[in-house]
Structure 1
Amino acid sequence: MPVSVHMFPGQGDFPVQVLSRAAARDGALRRALRAVYEEIDASAGAGALPSPAALLLGADPPGGRELARGPVGLQQVAHYGAAVAWQRVLAARYGPPDALLAVSFGELAALTAAGAWTVGAGARAAYGLAGVLARTPGGLTLIGCGEARAAELAARAGGGRVAVGCVNSPRECVLGGPPDRLAAVEGLAAAEGLSAVRLHLPFGSHHPELGRQRGEFEEVLRGGPPIGPTAVPVYSAVAGRRYTPADDLAARVADCLVRPAHLPRVLALLAAHGHTDYREAGPGSALGRNAADCLRGTGARVHGTGEEDSERGQRTVTTDRTLDELLHGRHHPGRLPCLHRALARYPYRVAEAAAEREPYLYRRLRALLRALPAAADLHADPDGLAAALAWAAVADPRLGMTVVTQSVLGQGSLLRLAGARKGVAPELGAVDAGDLRIGYLVTEAGRASSHLGAGTVAEFRPERREFVLRTAEEADVKFGGVPQYPGPRGAVVIARAVDAAGRAGGVFAFLVRLADHDGPRPGVALSPPVPVGALPLSYHRVRFDGVRVPEAHWLRDDADLDADGRLHDPRTPEDRLRRTLAVGQDLWGVLPTALAALARQSAVLAVRHSRHRETRAALAPGTPLLAHRSQQRALLGALADAFALSCAAARARELLAAARESDAAGAESGFAPWAAVSRPLSAYKAHCADEAERIIAECQRRCGHAGLADGNRLAGYHGFARSFDPAGGDSRLIRYDLGRALLAEAGPGGPPPVPADLGDPGWWPAVLARHQHTLTDWLRRATAERARGGATPFEVWNPLLDRAAELGAAYAARLAAEDLPRALAALPPDGATDALAHLAALRAADRTAGALLRHRTLAPGELAGLENALERGYDRLLPHLEQVERAFAFPDDIVLPEGSPDGFPEGFPDGPAREGRPEGPNAPSGRGFPE
């Protein structure tokens, strides 16, 4: 019989909008929240605060930032009440828990749920805590590494004042300390390829320097109602054990300010005591994910939380990840079949003429939109957004690009940046329904790096409370995708704001209506379509001449205009640009999943084509192409490289989810704002686009003329991947900026040692760590030498930009290399995935051997066994080929051309493909190429 635990998260995980959406769908949760918040209001223990029920359960609930800007204590009391209410619903649905687990100040809600406090007494403690925290200095940084390495980084860069505050899992910690010292640690972590994100909490915690604040909080607790005995066992991550009747609970709770919280340790204790089922009491998911990581291998079950509990029933998050979850993400069981049905409804058509292409794409888009959740829900789920993009791109790369511009960038900007969501709610709904199509216009045709200084101007007119959009010069004309299909069309346009006093502000996004059923709207001039053969969509140059944009369609974020039309922006121009372009973070988090899907499908199609295409070569007439070792090296290698790309894509989704749970302060921008928006995600974007383009191009070459046929989509897949070299943040600029940022923040110390065995999973990541260190040292010496001569920054960097790009590329490759062993650790043991990962690492080393030797990262002797190891790697993968095909292939009815059940047009011989072919919607196709 399961022995259950309810887990209470700390202050850092309170997704307010997730709570509001869950309450809107779940009557029991809504009633529990209202009851708890009414108890808090009636107790008068939480001070003179607005009622959380009126705010969070009203028609227009606030976001997390808005709630945080409210009176001191409002956020803490709302969080406390939500956890108590959520736990009541869990107990009602799944039975009372056998134990409670408290992490950090989740202890307040846990003790209330255990019966040690009344709801009002716990709220009084939460309110008192908020008052103490408001006077508490410091900050907190989430870092992607284990406890030992986090402590080492803190010691090296923290000046003795940064401490490990929370150990969340074997691969994640929280550091606490003064903000300037945390910044130094973050820089060192980034230089070593680790993710480091400043939490959006304006106070420190779990730090030994906070003894005075600990004393103040203990006085608050002793001044309120006494903490009684617990009716349910309470385990504390701070105490590292179960509380006993002998504990002074006021002192132990106050310890949360000065002592670290160690989740793995207390979970190991719970598992040893026989607890098997774990549920998170709250709308977040971070605690559940960390618990699953800590409990891997114990047989325990960590059940999904957040909206999953309330919207569609319970979903179990197992402590191990399946290969399907790695490739496609974690979803409700009905999500991917729903996508499949929507995309299979309209078979793929080449449709060369725009008059045919546009209606066809519009029908496919409408079918896809009906299968997807509303935009707000889709964007709240990185796995879901990534799957929608990946499946759409595999079915039709043109449809995939439409999803990028409309759903990811367009709607993403509205959701992220609209000051008041209700101002753009009609447009969001219209896009969801397919009644309005929108794009994203940032590029200006006449200037390089136009995103850094938008020439398009939006001038505010206070008398009508609207902006007037103008294209100031010919070079400022926007260029991007604008649908030709008749009907309402719009775009999120990036422009520089000018207030009523004529003062230029920062770069903002504006929602602009471009056309309706009668054509372009007044002031909008669209050029004739600009042909782009690699990805045939409707691209236009767009000029604005006095286009009126209502103030509600200014995506102002946290800026404002006063009654006189004067712009008030709390951010610097550089930070405003970073915020406006932060929607790129969403794209970088989900695009790698689509690129990996295209690479996998291309490799599968090429393998099948080679298996069934006979050769007339004199060496062995009648043998299939795939029997030839040269073809095996290319295509087995493509499968392995696509697997490595899929591991990197899964990590990018995880990083996007983590970034959304916190709002890190932006780093300083360098050559471009991309690294400042998100260093690791921008690196993944550049790396994955290059890798996908390389893999798909090799698959095309290995298929001869068949690889060029439009019906097979390989040309479209290649065009999609290639387009993201300049699109979505220019990859070369990203590498330049990564190199500059890594050089500026490089800390002391050397790289880790490289294992001698090429078969060691840590060999390739260690080689790249050493290579990054070597490149950093060289570039540091080169820039210092040029700067000593009094050179300007341009003169210093101009001859070194390619070396900076090389360093940025090495950093990105290192992140991806570390994802291979990380993914294998989460997957069940399997010969196929082990062989794929091993071969992918060896192939990456082989491709970069020249650079490794040239820079003396490795000596020739250290690569002596590489060729033989590669040959053994191909032999090791070959027996698993059909298993890998089945796992990688997308359903036939979305990847085969219209009217061609096995990929061949009428009149060409079938060959042996039909014999023994699996059946069903997810069965791999026997062939995929017209001859």
Structure 2
Amino acid sequence: MLEFVRGDALDAKTRLRVADAVPPGFFSYPGGLTAREHQALTYARLRRAGLAAPPAPELLDDPPALCALLDRAAIADPALFHVMLLHYTLALGPILRFGADREGPREARDALETMASFGTLLMTEAGRSNSHLSPRTIARHDPGTGGFVLTTPDAEAAKFPTNTAHPQVPKTAAVYATLVHGGSERGVFVFVVPLRGENGRIPQGVRITPAPETTGLQVDYAAVRLDGLWVPREAWLRDGARIGEDGSFHDPAGGPAQRLTRSMAVAPAVWRAVVSASAAITRASAGVLLAHSTGRTTLGRLAPRRLLTDYRNQNEAVLGALASAYALTAVAGHAKSRRAAPPPATGTGGPATAWAPWSAVDRDLALLKAAATAQAHDTVSRCRTHSGAPGFAATDRLNAYRGLAHAYTSAGGDNELILFDTARAMADLDGYQPPPPPPAAGPPDGGDLASPRVWLHLARDCERRMRDRLAERVAAARARGHDPFTAWNDNLALATRTATACADRTVLEILTAAHDTGPALLRPALRLHALGWLDRRAGNLLNEGVVPPGVLDEVWALRRAVCDELTPHAAALAAAFELPTDITAAPTAFLTTPPPDPSGGPSGSPSAGDPSAGGPFGTPPA
């Protein structure tokens, strides 16, 4: 199981460098910090991590290594994960990918690679939804200098949210702006803009308005406006586009729609990292719940002094969290090994999307991001609930993990918009092939719901039926004279469920492959996760006529059986996650142990047999 969780893409040296980059001292904060002091410490840790980790270009060329670094940051501190992700994938990533013939903004790149400045992103605009499709922040060419002038026309076009508020932390931004030249919009390009110097100085033409403090994901949020900010020619990450000496504009991408897709092409690195981090925080949350539950007695009058995990609801919550963690780990392994779809060919049609640009970049990876964050949020929330008051008040870890999962249902591409665009492609058969009709002989393996082939049979049948019905309803609305907005707006609920069914089927295909090739103990864990899927989606499956009434009774019976099979192995399942000991300690461990040393200390990653990862049910953790 340890080999499955680790995967086979990282060598021992890289794993050690990642562990050194995010040492045990990063897994907590000293008490009494103000919000700004807390944020400053986060950035100090980011600088230390960046200097200890492999060089940024190597990380960005090695998805498993970058994800390993970000996973450890997410488990240690979701805020550190967030600013680290922005720094590497959305600030340095565009410079390395789009810098023209490697000329690019050399000074900004050096500052980011040496952690002299921290990367941030200026993309979303505060006043309009779907603002990625057409940013109102404008870039105009200055023929006198060869540079560009960036302008935010009003407060509604302010870039928000950004992590730029701390007055003493140097920041360099990747700004997404619409290039206007020759009286026409030429598409969305990225410009590199220093927002704060080393001493916190803000250049003329930049206005930063700090946002109110929040505890959801503790970073220095602010809105940014650019008021006639001049930047040199090298700040334009032109990706092959150019403005000739005669003022003519040339873009090999073809047009504004294709340029938007290319400029968003850094997103797959974000999605891989978010899927992987979703698995990481789910593993950590499952470890916390196991630690809370192991050996804990109850005083209920039905059976005083019974162990908490003797109750099916708690037993299934713990094992279900462990199962979901393994399922997401399988999905993360798939995402990290999968290269992004190639950009659209020069001169081809624009993005086949209606709500957001993400699905035009890589529809499958965007959909996996939506599925992984939704699953992580659901599992982490259940771990928090089943850890009772201690899980809420004795530690902020589960609250922080839940906040991270919740934040990334919108960040990195809004999940609902990804689902809408996926559903539109499914209905139009745009780069999408529906699952074939089920065989006349009926479901495989006699319809045994514990069989992976039956999971796939049900998921594919449900997806195909939903897709056909959605296509028919939209087509009928158009035939009645409705415009595209009305035709789709009346069917968004079905569209969401249809795209979710596609995501479910994709995930189950990944899990079936892992079930067939992975270690023996992985199989019952994945069966339990699949039974949980059947329980959650029973309404859709019943509505589409894929399963008969009474199916939940069979699901519940099978779930009890697989939980009985997994219960003796709960500690082994959790130990393979290699969680640091301060994570696997129960939430109330502060009552009997000294507070952690915030300056760092000896590494605590238990081996597969370390009892600090939680003993078997009924045995208190060491």
TM-score by length of 2: 0.90
Per the alignment, residue 602 of structure 1 pairs with 285
Per the alignment, residue 436 of structure 1 pairs with 117
**Which digits, 9 at most, give the CA deviation of each residue in 1:624-666, with x for residues without a partner?**
32232210111111111121111111111122x3x37x55547
- Given the alignment of the two structures, is residue 536 of structure 1 paired with residue 218 of structure 2, yes or no? yes
- Given the alignment of the two structures, is residue 481 of structure 1 paired with residue 167 of structure 2, yes or no? no
Percent identity of equivalent pairs: 33
CA–CA separation in structure 1 for the residues paired with 2:416 and 2:586: 40
**Residue identity opposite 1:409 in structure 2:** L
CA contact (8 A) 1:468 1:549 kept: yes
- Given the alignment of the two structures, is residue 751 of structure 1 paired with residue 431 of structure 2, yes or no? no
- Cα distance change on mapping 1:709 and 1:363 into 2, 3 Å: farther
CA–CA separation in structure 2 for the residues paired with 1:521 and 1:694: 43
| Shift, 1:881, TM fit | 0.8
Which ranges in structure 1 are unaligned for 5 or more consecutive residues?
Answer: 1-321, 911-918
Q: Where do 1:453-852 residues align within 5 Å?
A: 453-479=134-160, 480-482=162-164, 484=166, 486-499=168-181, 501-516=182-197, 517-570=199-252, 571-655=254-338, 657=339, 659=340, 662-663=342-343, 665=345, 668-709=352-393, 711-745=395-429, 750-753=436-439, 754-755=443-444, 756-827=447-518, 829-830=519-520, 832-852=521-541
**Residue identity opposite 2:83 in structure 1:** T
**Residue identity opposite 1:751 in structure 2:** P
CA contact (8 A) 2:353 2:360 kept: yes
CA–CA separation in structure 1 for the residues paired with 2:485 and 2:76: 45
CA contact (8 A) 1:835 1:876 kept: yes
CA–CA separation in structure 1 for the residues paired with 2:337 and 2:421: 23
CA contact (8 A) 1:735 1:809 kept: yes
- Cα distance change on mapping 1:920 and 1:789 into 2, 3 Å: closer
Q: What secondary structure, in the 3-state scheme, does the structure 2 residue paired with 1:759 have?
A: coil
| Shift, 1:368, TM fit | 1.1
- Cα distance change on mapping 1:673 and 1:710 into 2, 3 Å: farther
- Cα distance change on mapping 1:704 and 1:329 into 2, 3 Å: farther
Per the alignment, residue 409 of structure 1 pairs with 90
CA–CA separation in structure 2 for the residues paired with 1:688 and 1:554: 34
| Shift, 1:328, TM fit | 5.3
**Which digits, 9 at most, give the CA deviation of each residue in 1:528-585, with x for residues without a partner?**
2332321111000111101111111111112111124432113221111111111111
**Residue identity opposite 1:377 in structure 2:** E
Q: Where do 1:74-89 residues align within 5 Å?
A: none
Which piece of structure 1 moves more, 439-448 or 363-372? 363-372
- Cα distance change on mapping 1:920 and 1:653 into 2, 3 Å: closer
CA–CA separation in structure 2 for the residues paired with 1:428 and 1:623: 60
CA–CA separation in structure 2 for the residues paired with 1:476 and 1:815: 37
Alpha carbon RMSD of aligned pairs, Å? 2.5
Q: Where do 1:114-193 residues align within 5 Å?
A: none
- Cα distance change on mapping 1:446 and 1:505 into 2, 3 Å: same
Q: What secondary structure, in the 3-state scheme, does the structure 2 residue paired with 1:423 have?
A: coil
- Cα distance change on mapping 1:340 and 1:776 into 2, 3 Å: same
**Which digits, 9 at most, give the CA deviation of each residue in 1:776-835, with x for residues without a partner?**
1111111121111111111111111221111111111111111112123332x42x2111
Between structure 1 and structure 2, the one with the greater Rg is: 1
| Shift, 1:601, TM fit | 0.7
CA–CA separation in structure 1 for the residues paired with 2:234 and 2:290: 53
Q: Where do 1:75-474 residues align within 5 Å?
A: 323-327=2-6, 330-344=9-23, 346-347=25-26, 348-349=28-29, 353-474=34-155
- Cα distance change on mapping 1:764 and 1:667 into 2, 3 Å: farther
Within the candidate set 547, 569, 583, 1:880 is matched to 569
CA contact (8 A) 2:373 2:408 kept: yes
Q: What secondary structure, in the 3-state scheme, does the structure 2 residue paired with 1:857 have?
A: coil
CA contact (8 A) 2:5 2:577 kept: no
CA–CA separation in structure 1 for the residues paired with 2:606 and 2:344: 41
Which piece of structure 1 moves more, 448-457 or 848-857? 848-857
- Cα distance change on mapping 1:692 and 1:772 into 2, 3 Å: same
CA–CA separation in structure 1 for the residues paired with 2:397 and 2:185: 46
**Which digits, 9 at most, give the CA deviation of each residue in 1:354-400, with x for residues without a partner?**
23212311221122112222221111111111111111110111000
CA–CA separation in structure 2 for the residues paired with 1:879 and 1:590: 33
CA–CA separation in structure 2 for the residues paired with 1:533 and 1:487: 20
| Shift, 1:710, TM fit | 7.1
**Which digits, 9 at most, give the CA deviation of each residue in 1:173-226, with x for residues without a partner?**
xxxxxxxxxxxxxxxxxxxxxxxxxxxxxxxxxxxxxxxxxxxxxxxxxxxxxx
| Shift, 1:338, TM fit | 2.1
**Which digits, 9 at most, give the CA deviation of each residue in 1:241-288, with x for residues without a partner?**
xxxxxxxxxxxxxxxxxxxxxxxxxxxxxxxxxxxxxxxxxxxxxxxx
**Which digits, 9 at most, give the CA deviation of each residue in 1:131-174, with x for residues without a partner?**
xxxxxxxxxxxxxxxxxxxxxxxxxxxxxxxxxxxxxxxxxxxx
**Which digits, 9 at most, give the CA deviation of each residue in 1:853-908, with x for residues without a partner?**
01222222666522211111111111211110101241226x47xxxx87646545
Q: Where do 1:25-36 residues align within 5 Å?
A: none
**Which digits, 9 at most, give the CA deviation of each residue in 1:305-364, with x for residues without a partner?**
xxxxxxxxxxxxxxxxx7535455611211222222332253411665223212311221
CA contact (8 A) 1:507 1:577 kept: yes
CA contact (8 A) 1:404 1:587 kept: yes
CA–CA separation in structure 2 for the residues paired with 1:620 and 1:429: 65
CA–CA separation in structure 1 for the residues paired with 2:304 and 2:211: 49
Q: What secondary structure, in the 3-state scheme, does the structure 1 residue paired with 2:218 have?
A: coil
CA–CA separation in structure 1 for the residues paired with 2:434 and 2:381: 41
**Residue identity opposite 1:669 in structure 2:** T
CA contact (8 A) 1:467 1:551 kept: yes
CA contact (8 A) 1:598 1:717 kept: yes
- Cα distance change on mapping 1:448 and 1:371 into 2, 3 Å: same
**Residue identity opposite 2:526 in structure 1:** A
**Residue identity opposite 2:546 in structure 1:** T
CA contact (8 A) 1:493 1:509 kept: yes
Q: What secondary structure, in the 3-state scheme, does the structure 2 residue paired with 1:519 have?
A: coil
Q: What secondary structure, in the 3-state scheme, does the structure 2 residue paired with 1:860 have?
A: coil
Q: What secondary structure, in the 3-state scheme, does the structure 2 residue paired with 1:514 have?
A: strand
CA contact (8 A) 2:39 2:166 kept: yes
| Count of aligned positions | 590
TM-score by length of 1: 0.61
CA–CA separation in structure 2 for the residues paired with 1:869 and 1:464: 71
CA–CA separation in structure 2 for the residues paired with 1:671 and 1:699: 33
CA–CA separation in structure 2 for the residues paired with 1:396 and 1:854: 41
